[in-house]
Amino acid sequence: MPTVKLEKSTPSKANILVIPTFRGEEGVELPSTALVGSSELKSTLHALTAVGAKGKSGEIIRIPAPQGVKADSIVAVGLDKPESLDDEAVRRAAGNVARTLVGQKHVATTLGDFGLAATVEGLILGGYSTRGIRSTKADADEAPVKVTIVSNEDKDVFNAAVIGAEAVAFARTLTNTPSNELYPASYAKYLKNEATKAGLEVEVLDKKELKKQGFGGILSVGQGSSRAPRLVRLEWNPKSAKKSVALVGKGITFDTGGISLKPGAGMWDMISDMGGSAAVAGATIAAAKLNLPVKVTAYLPLAENMPSGDATRPGDVITHYGGLTSEVLNTDAEGRLVLADAIARACEDNPDYLIETATLTGAQMVALGSRTAGVMGSDEFRDRVAELGRSVGENAWAVPLLEEHEEEIKSKAADIRNINAKREGGMQFAGTYLAQFVTDDVEWAHIDVAGPSWNGGAARGYTTPRATGVPARTIIAALQDIAAEKKDK
Ligand code: BES
Ligand code: MN
Ligand code: ZN
């Protein structure tokens, strides 16, 4: 990841200047920038025009610095038409440029003139990379670049954006980690360490404790694996807190489907089936670093879904935390089983709000594609969370739960069943399953990020390949929004 700093004036050692351009009526336009003097600005515009710059979105053009500019080169980043400029455009432009700067030394930019937070987020997230697990060390030309954002804006805005972007990076790295490294025990241990450092209270329930307290859903999903499940609870409880928010995130460290085994092709992507829990953990740590005046209690059910002689069979009946029984007709619909326990437990704390997120259904991608999360839950809060998601560039859309599923969820062998017989509305059926565990007085939002949590394609904007860290920034935005409420709202 690039190191990003905020300064009021151009650092003398900057050898690359990253400046924004616009797509004007008569070609590329160059807004004034603190990095280049007014007469040099003219020659820069000339040079850019000469090499065909248009200022289009996605355009990144590097030219030798003109006479009089104290740097080696200038990188012009297109922001497209000024009238269509928004935070997401700046974030994407900063992300695109960050990838071209890997291995460079000292960069200064005034992109922040058009959105400081968005510039910070785009640079950090677009420049994010993990090398994976390799036999060789990183080359010098893979070293993270140092970027100085030259701006007079408030340091607080800058710091908050860094914290948010780091939460996303935290979630990405966990989610990119293969499942032989990241399994419930190792994951819980890592979280305990990181969350404690950030000043959170941490509690980890192991298999014995899960049995004692009746977490039948988590145990059922984990029982086919030699790697026992865990339930991690993180708490941020500042004196200033007026509202309380429970967070829940799906933490399936690998999903084979269990006895209802998934096909082999593509199964490797199921290392990311804990992406929801990683986003929640990142957001909870961010809440502490931002010192948000809101109580946050996060529940992360961690389990590995494996087929074995000990695994749950289709047709088994399990008892969730709190007593509700469920007929498991498909062991690949395991996320809702671990989430049900965690939601039931979270509601015992009587939170004002509950935000839960999961890579829950393939049906989410059928309905909304791979970049737009499906948000279900209490009407008002669902709409609010979807809107907040869109406002931070994590696309999200409100989806209604379906009346017909109230009937379809009934089982002949237990209180409820874990799949619907007809496949229609699979994303919403999962939502209806979870709804059984949410107490009435809690404002609830369920975010299905099966698609958006993973980028199977090439880098675009600030979205790098593989784990995206979505919806960490949506959750942080929701926590900030709730923290800003009046007490008696
Ligand atoms: N983890 C999967 C959902 C998923 C699929 C996430 C693809 C990301 C990419 C989930 O546990 C699952 O297997 N869901 C089943 C549910 C079905 C059996 C009702 C699905 O969507 O096929
Ligand atoms: Mn599954
Ligand atoms: Zn799953």
How much distance in Å is there from the Cα of 273 to the middle of ligand 2?
A: 8
Buried b (16+ CB within 10 A) or exposed e, 60-76: bbeeebbeebebeebbb
pLDDT digits (tens, 9 = 90+) for 224-258: 999 999 999 999 999 999 999 999 999 999 999 99
124, 153, 182 - which closes a domain: 153
* 179 shares its domain with 82: no
State if pTM tops 0.85: yes
Which pLDDT belongs to residue 424? 96
Peptide bond into 144 cis (omega under 30): no
Antiparallel, parallel or unpaired: β 16-24 and 27-29: antiparallel
* 137 shares its domain with 236: no
Q: Whose CA is nearest to atom 6 of ligand 1?
A: 450
How much distance in Å is there from the Cα of 362 to the middle of ligand 1?
A: 5
Could you tell me which residues are beta bridge partners of residue 146?
3, 106
Please indicate whether residue 450, judged by its CB atom, sits closer than 6 Å to ligand 1.
yes
* 168 shares its domain with 143: no
The whole-angstrom distance between residue 263's C-alpha and the CA centroid of its chain comes to: 27
Q: Given a cut of 80, is residue 157 above it in pLDDT?
A: yes
Q: Which domain holds residue 275?
A: 161-488
* 117 shares its domain with 169: no
Please indicate whether residue 456, judged by its CB atom, sits closer than 6 Å to ligand 1.
no
How much distance in Å is there from the Cα of 413 to the middle of ligand 3?
A: 24
Please indicate whether residue 428, judged by its CB atom, sits closer than 6 Å to ligand 1.
no
pLDDT digits (tens, 9 = 90+) for 179-209: 999 999 999 999 999 999 999 999 999 999 9
Please indicate whether residue 419, judged by its CB atom, sits closer than 6 Å to ligand 1.
yes
How much distance in Å is there from the Cα of 124 to the middle of ligand 1?
A: 31
What is the CATH classification number for the domain harbouring 19? 3.40.220.10
**How many distinct structural domains can be found in the chain?**
2
What is the CATH classification number for the domain harbouring 306? 3.40.630.10
Ligand 1, residues 253, 270, 305, 332: which to mutate, most atoms within 8 A of Cβ? 332
Q: Given a cut of 90, is residue 449 above it in pLDDT?
A: yes
* 396 shares its domain with 311: yes
* 149 shares its domain with 165: no
Would you say 21 and 32 are in contact if contact means Cβ atoms under 8 Å apart? no
* 177 shares its domain with 142: no
* 113 shares its domain with 167: no
* 288 shares its domain with 222: yes
Please indicate whether residue 416, judged by its CB atom, sits closer than 6 Å to ligand 1.
no
120, 153, 186 - which closes a domain: 153
Which of the ligands is closest to the CA of residue 267?
1
* 234 shares its domain with 291: yes
Which pLDDT belongs to residue 111? 98
153, 177, 198 - which closes a domain: 153
* 144 shares its domain with 248: no
pLDDT digits (tens, 9 = 90+) for 9-53: 999 999 999 999 999 999 999 999 999 999 999 999 999 999 999
Q: What is the DSSP string of 340-351?
A: HHHHHHHHHT--
* 143 shares its domain with 178: no
